[in-house]
Chains A and B, each alone.
Chain A
Amino acid sequence: MTTLLGWLAGVALVAGLVMGFGVAPREVSQGNVQRIMYVHVPAVWVAYLAFAVGLAASIAYLAGRRPGADRLAHATCEVGTVFLGINIATGAIWGKPTWGTWWTWDARLTSVAVVFVMFLAYLLLRGAIEDRERGARYAAVLGIVAALNIPLVHFSVYWWRTLHQPPSLLKPGASTMPPVILTALLVNFAALALLGAYFVARRTRVLAAEDEALA
């Protein structure tokens, strides 16, 4: 099953590259640098998705103390942090030619940086506490607190004046995006989501094997 997921992710990634570079047209105002959007935006959607699953798994762990829920929370939060890192890095690279700066402390960038640091702290916390049960409990609480910041990241562009543009898709009302660009974006999202699911499946399996070996 995991292997199949990996192959599907590989094929979808190729399809995403073809859509992003071969099918989607050159954007009128930004030029070809806009093609960074096909990795920047899907990466943050996958991170949101992973953190949402991590939130649910953390709550389930605190409620039932099932090790499987803790392993799922650990894996999803780790994979979500990887994808959020990609989002931040590609955003900085996109920001330089369009805004004239790699980084600015506006509300969207600052809030996403805070969430990223919180999930890094989550991963450090897991490694720092030797008692696995206690570490899992503390990590679950931190994971819930960190994930609850995601709506703040999303709505920061509405609540404060920011250099970052408001969302083009995850907003009320119809999308203003041309269909071909929207299709390319969604294909890339599907590809990164499959890759994220593949990583989560493998990471969960490794964590289960670690628990078994150390039991």
Chain B
Amino acid sequence: MPDNWGFVTAAYAVAAVILGGYWRMLIRKERTVTALRASSGPGTGARAEAEGGVRDDHTSRSRQPSRPGHPRPEPAPRPPLQ
């Protein structure tokens, strides 16, 4: 019987592509989760919005000390009174 090296190569290549694809998907998911966790700190971001709170970026930002060379950003517009 002929050796059919093309089929052997194809089988190992397909396995490598599937495993490599899954590995890349895991890395992408890890990055997404890391970004999600970074944006959902206590009292801000996604978590605050999910809890029905109001983002108070202007108050937290105003308490941050200004760094030399980086001008303090303009405060966000005041949220409407409830």
Contact = CB atoms under 8 A, between A and B. Distances in A.
Contacts of A206: 26, 29-30, 33
A94 B33 contact: no
A29 B3 CA distance: 10
Interface in B1-60: 1-5, 7-8, 10-12, 14-15, 18-19, 22-23, 26, 29-30, 33-34, 36-37, 40, 46, 50
Contacts of B4: 31-33, 97
A31 B36 contact: no
Interface size class of A (residues with CB under 8 A): 20 to 34
B14 A97 contact: no
A103 interface: no
A36 to B, nearest CB: 4
B60 to A, nearest CB: 20
B15 A89 contact: yes
A90 B3 contact: no
Interface in A47-76: none
A108 interface: no
A32 B19 contact: no
A134 interface: no
B19 to A, nearest CB: 7
A71 B35 CA distance: 20
A213 interface: yes
Contacts of B50: 214
Contact of B26 (A89, A203, A212, A214): A203
A132 to B, nearest CB: 13
A166 to B, nearest CB: 21
A90 B12 CA distance: 8
B7 A93 contact: yes
Nearest to A209: B33
A91 B3 CA distance: 16
B14 A90 contact: yes
15 contacts: A30-B1, A32-B8, A82-B18, A86-B18, A89-B18, A93-B7, A94-B7, A96-B7, A206-B30, A206-B33, A212-B37, A213-B33, A213-B37, A213-B40, A214-B50
